[in-house]
Structures are given as C-alpha cells and as structure tokens.
Amino acid sequence: PQHKPLAGKRAIVTSGPTHEPIDPVRYIANRSSGKQGHAIAAALARLGAEVTLVSGPVTIADPRGVTVRHVETAEEMRAAVLSCLPADIAVMVAAVADWRVVGTAGQKIKKQPGEPPAPLVLTENPDILKTIGHHEQRPTLVIGFAAETENVEANGRKKLAAKGADLIVANDVSPDTGIMGGDRNRVRLISHGGIEDWPELGKDAVAERLAALIAERLNQGKSD
C-alpha cells in the first residue's frame, strides 16, 4: 500500500557515539546525542520497514516500532551490524570513534604523585560503513553521514567514493551551528547523481524526508 512503501524491507540504522574504554571508569568518545539516527530509524519503521537500530550509549529513549541493539564499542557495533545482514537499507548515522585504546586496563589507572600520566596508545577502529559498502551482502541502499566542520562538500564526495556508499548526508557541525546535540539540522545530500541542499529542518523532519527518499529510490529499483 502507498502509505507503507517500505513494507517487507529490512533496514539497519546505527546511531549515537561509541565508547572506547581506557579503564573501567574512563573512555574516549565522539559527541553524539543519537537524535538524528534514532529519528531515522523511527521514520523508516513508520514507512513499514523492519528496522534494527544499533545504538551506542545515549540518554534518549528507544524509538517505537524498532528492534534496538545496545552496544558500547565500535567493535561491538560492527558485529551487531554484520549480524543484521542481509538487509535492503543501511543508514550509518553513528559517530563511531575512529580509535580505540590498546591494552585497556582491567583496573582503574591510579594517579602517580609526581609522575606524568602514562601515554594512551591508540589503534584504528573498523570502519563499519566502509565494510557494509563493500560487503558481498551489500544492502541495495547504503547511506552514510559526514559530520564536518569545513569543506563539507569535498569531504562528502571523498567519503561517497571511499566508503562505497550511494548517498552521503553531510552536515556542518561547527560549534556555532548548534547542530550538535540540538534538535535541528541542515544537510547537504551528496550522491553520484549530484548534490541537493535541504533547508534547515528539525531532526525529525530530516528523518522523514530521508525515509521518503529511501522509499522512492528503492522502489525505483536504482540507487542514485
């Protein structure tokens, strides 16, 4: 039916940050409220998709009508996403930490009076979007986000190619935009077919429009 254009389609959405432990009480992370990713998961579900939301640690509620898998780290997020394949749609909104700590301490690291802090040794995390974009069970539509503070378009185009995505939703998250943690967003859609600028909208409205665009593209049977 017209109002459930994604009925029978499976979608995976990632949202929120990941936390990469340093020791049992400390971690490194990116800033992310999860608002945009959660809104997209809910919007896809409203169009009839069977949605699994893989969420990092957030303080917002699980959206309605969606299966939620809660994870902490990038490695856990990657495993959860891969376990959801095959799927028709992947929307990777999570702000995954690029690095994790090598040799996470089992006990709280104590300050040593008069000594400098021990350096943190980091290693790269898996790129979940890139893995999905090049996977043998690649979903029909693979969508990434690009939170940038400069050169939004150029970086978005690079990401489209490098990650094997059909669409990159780029936004400027410079501190003066108020986008990070806020309820509004202004995005630029970068696909192989061109660029589309959306006006500033609430994150729910961005989610709604993106879900409609996903339905349109899937039902056209092409990805750009």
Contact 10, 214 (CB under 8 A): no
Catalytic residue among 30, 125, 155, 171: 30
Which of 38, 46, 159, 217 is in the footprint of ligand C5P by CB under 6 A?
A: 159
DSSP H or E run through 190: strand 187-191
Q: Print the binding letters for residues 94-123 with ligand C5P: x by CB under 6 A, - otherwise.
A: x-x---------------------------
Alpha helices in 107-182 (DSSP H): 128-133, 152-163
Q: Locate 23 and state its tokens.
A: 């020791």
Query: Known catalytic residue: 30?
Result: yes
Q: Is residue 46 part of the contact set for ligand C5P (CB under 6 A)? A: no
Q: Is residue 58 part of the contact set for ligand C5P (CB under 6 A)? A: no
Q: Is residue 127 part of the contact set for ligand C5P (CB under 6 A)? A: yes
Q: Is residue 27 part of the contact set for ligand C5P (CB under 6 A)? A: no
Closest contact distance (angstroms) between CB of 47 and ligand C5P is 21
Judged by beta carbon, residue 67 or residue 151, the one nearer ligand C5P is 151
Binding site listing for CTP: 98, 108, 126-129, 145, 159, 163
Backbone angles phi and psi of 153, in degrees to 5: -70, -50
Binding residues for ligand C5P, total number by CB under 6 A: 15
- Residue 65 and residue 49: Cα distance in Å, rounded? 10
Q: Is residue 144 part of the contact set for ligand C5P (CB under 6 A)? A: yes
Q: Is residue 185 part of the contact set for ligand C5P (CB under 6 A)? A: no
Closest contact distance (angstroms) between CB of 157 and ligand C5P is 13
Write out 57-123 in H/E/C secondary structure. CCCCCCCCCCEEEECCCHHHHHHHHHCCCCCCEEEECCECCCEEECCCCCCCCCCCCCCCCCCCCEE
The single-letter code of the amino acid at 115 is E
Contact 165, 127 (CB under 8 A): no
Q: What residues line the site for ligand C5P (CB under 6 A)?
A: 14, 74, 92-94, 96, 125-129, 144-146, 159
Active site residues: 30
